[in-house]
Amino acid sequence: MNQVKDIADIKYVNTSVKDLAPEWDQVKKSDGSFSNKIKSLTVNGERFRPTNRFLNSMCSRFGFAPSIYGLFEPDEVFGRISDRKPLHKVRVAIDNKEREVLAVSTPGKPIITDHIADRVLGGLDRTPYRVDYRDGVVTSYHTIGREWKIGPDRAVSQIKVSIPVDGFGLPDIVLGWIRQVCTNGAVAVSPVFRSQVSLGKGADDGERVLMRAIDSFSNEEGFAAISQRVDAASKTPASIAEVASFRRALVSGIKTGMNITDIMNRLERVTGSLSDKYHVPSENALSIKKQRLLNMNCSVAHLINTGSELVTHRPEIFSKPESVYAWIGDRIANEFDLEGEEKRFDNRDFMIVNAA
């Protein structure tokens, strides 16, 4: 298992906005208009690559929407903040390994630093079986021990803990499960199955609060609801609309430029071919109503298992795995398109690992 200190190296700098010097490019969009894209940020004389979290955190910190960068030159935005609040300080989180600016936050506001996150995860009774880090967020996975059935398979409950170590946002805990047959891990990223952890006011409160929240976390009602919904998913045919939305979530989450032809071909083997089944070239040839009423050759659970298998066993192809988890959470939290039309399905898998 990774330790936070081995995968993240964050430094925190208190400075004023006037000491942040952004450089921007104008990018031509498909409609012929231009948008501003930040390419670098100099902090106290050092140059770094900014992340999307940095821009979002600036918007959050100073109360404006990201669209402001399209209405005004970015230099105007930063300059106006400096003019109106010349003494205003911000805490800047910088990833030393990746040379990235992660986020800004208010100095003095409680924060879980990378060192604190390492202590928290290393001192838990509920030890994580996996720890990841990406873009200012440490993510850990913990089994809870509650077992239940998913159709013919068995699953064990798990929680996914996201810890922002850049000061932007609060830690949260999301319910999930692991299929024991192939160790696929899935989480239901939906407000229904997510709990945020407030850090308190003192500098040392956050560490104690977060450790207690993880070690004592119990949501029997939530896990019972998930087990019921996943069981229903295993008996419910996936609609054309659900297959299409799942495909979009996959494409959105996979890294730009990645060749996904093989993945899409394997997905079609799971769902069946739309053109063979309904003799139409794509779902766009059908109304939204028909897309929700017509079934494909798989269950909703097949789509959930496909997404969890890819994210678990092929994490290197994803830039935004949360898009797949969000799709899973949305489906689990809401009624399926064809709910009530139960059908018996085989126990096929995507087989991304075992396929030749």
Predicted confidence (pLDDT) per residue in 69-94, tens digit? 777 777 788 888 888 887 788 999 99
Distance between start and end Cα atoms, the chain: 28
Q: How far is CA 287 from CA 279, 280, 282, 294, in A?
A: 15, 12, 11, 11
Average pLDDT, the chain: 85
149's tokens: 């059935």
CB-CB neighbours of 258 under 10 Å:
12
* pLDDT above 90 for 6: no
Please tell me which residue, 212 or 181, carries the higher pLDDT value.
Answer: 212
User: Please, are residues 23 and 40 in contact by the beta-carbon 8 Å criterion?
Assistant: yes
Please tell me which residue, 300 or 150, carries the higher pLDDT value.
Answer: 300
DSSP code, position 185 = E
Band (pLDDT 50/70/90 cuts) for residue 258 is confident
User: Please, are residues 159 and 144 in contact by the beta-carbon 8 Å criterion?
Assistant: yes
Residue ranges of domains in the chain:
4-105, 114-227, 236-333
254's tokens: 């996979």
Band (pLDDT 50/70/90 cuts) for residue 27 is confident
Interval 111-127 mean pLDDT: 92
pLDDT in tens, 317-327: 998 888 998 99
Q: Residue 78 has what pLDDT?
A: 83
Q: Residue 348 has what pLDDT?
A: 56
User: Please, are residues 304 and 325 in contact by the beta-carbon 8 Å criterion?
Assistant: no
Residue holding tokens 């398979």? 153
Q: Residue 355 has what pLDDT?
A: 37
Percentage, residues of the chain above pLDDT 70: 90
* pLDDT above 80 for 227: yes
Long-range contacts: 256-265, Cβ < 8 Å, 24+?
Answer: 256/319, 258/317, 263/310, 263/352
Closest by CA position to 110, among listed 171, 16, 200: 200
3-state secondary structure of 118: helix
Band (pLDDT 50/70/90 cuts) for residue 354 is very low
Gap between the Cα atoms of 182 and 235, Å rounded: 20
* pLDDT above 70 for 223: yes
Paired strand residues for 161: 140, 173
Q: Residue 252 has what pLDDT?
A: 93
Please tell me which residue, 343 or 61, carries the higher pLDDT value.
Answer: 61
pTM: 0.81
Interval 130-136 mean pLDDT: 90
* pLDDT above 70 for 122: yes
* pLDDT above 50 for 180: yes
Q: Residue 248 has what pLDDT?
A: 95
Most confident of the following: 141-145, 284-288, 349-353: 284-288
Band (pLDDT 50/70/90 cuts) for residue 356 is very low
3-state secondary structure of 316: helix
98's tokens: 């990746």
Please tell me which residue, 287 or 231, carries the higher pLDDT value.
Answer: 287
Q: How far is CA 250 from CA 26, 88, 258, 308, 315, in A?
A: 28, 41, 12, 11, 12
* pLDDT above 80 for 98: yes
3-state secondary structure of 123: coil
Interval 232-253 mean pLDDT: 94
Q: How far is CA 349 from CA 74, 175, 336, in A?
A: 48, 23, 20
346's tokens: 């085989």
3-state secondary structure of 94: strand
Interval 179-207 mean pLDDT: 70
* pLDDT above 80 for 101: yes
